[in-house]
Amino acid sequence: MVSCMSQGIVIDAFGRGRCAKICGTLFLVSAMLAACMPSLQLYLLFRGLVAVFEHYLYVACFVLSLELCTPSQRSLVGNLFAVPYALGYMALPGVALLVKDWRPLQLALSAPALFLLAYHWLLPESPRWLVTRGRLTEAADVLTQAAKVNGNPPLPRDRLMAALVAMHAKKENESRKKRNSVNRSDANTCHGVLPRRRVSQQGRKAWRWCGDVGNSVRSLVSTPRLVVVTLIVFYIWFTSPLPTMASLSTLST
């Protein structure tokens, strides 16, 4: 729940690649330390950290994967991205059957996370995120390297930079228009709800953040189709841990 409430803000602020690298390393360290804890309380603490870092890592890599492919490929990439996750869940009962003691089991389940260290050398940053941050040279480097890896001739540097500058300018204009429209309505909205005194800049930011959260929640039920999809996703997320918990309870008895 902690990671779900903050993951979007953190990933947007620090970048998808950076979050994936840091959270992958912290996930590995927390998982290994959990196997060495002398008490149940410390074990649960580190397992909680594992859950937080795993969720950050999953979402950061998922967003990065979608931003590195074309719009027509996103449905396929999004579905393929979840396949290793499902295979890991399928392999969990078999590993637990072979490794009886909980400490070696914890280490066996955490050992594949050693491959996450390769992210520090192999994982690029999202060029889309770099453009929104004005880091156009880095975005051009990532796209040029991607073209070479895919066996395609890279665009000339001047044409690529001109396209990235145009994209950044368009994004900045859209953000400026949005901020101006929000600022014009903030004062009236805040004064209509908050106490009748001058509203500080911090108050406006807090009120705007609450409005953004409300808009994000309302977008999940904005159309009948989205209502159905949202209910299905909630049902899947609620029921998916139940077979795992039942299997672990059976193994423990």
Residues 117-162: tens digit of each pLDDT: 999 999 999 999 999 888 999 989 999 998 888 888 888 888 888 9
Question: Which residues have a Cβ under 8 Å from the Cβ of 203 and sit 6 or more positions away?
Answer: 190, 194
Is the pLDDT confidence value at 171 over 50?
yes
Q: What ranges make up the beta strands (E) of the chain?
A: none
More confident residue, 247 or 147: 147
DSSP class of 172: H
> What pTM, to 2 d.p., does this model score?
0.72
Site of tokens 């609620």 = 238
Q: Residue 241's pLDDT is what?
A: 63
- In order, the DSSP letters of 63-96 are HHHHHTS-GGGHHHHHHHHTHHHHHHHHHHHHHH
d(CA 117, CA 111): 12
Average pLDDT estimate for 160-165: 88
Q: Residue 196's pLDDT is what?
A: 46
Task: Find the angle CA(55)-CA(67)-CA(175) to the nearest 5 degrees.
Answer: 100
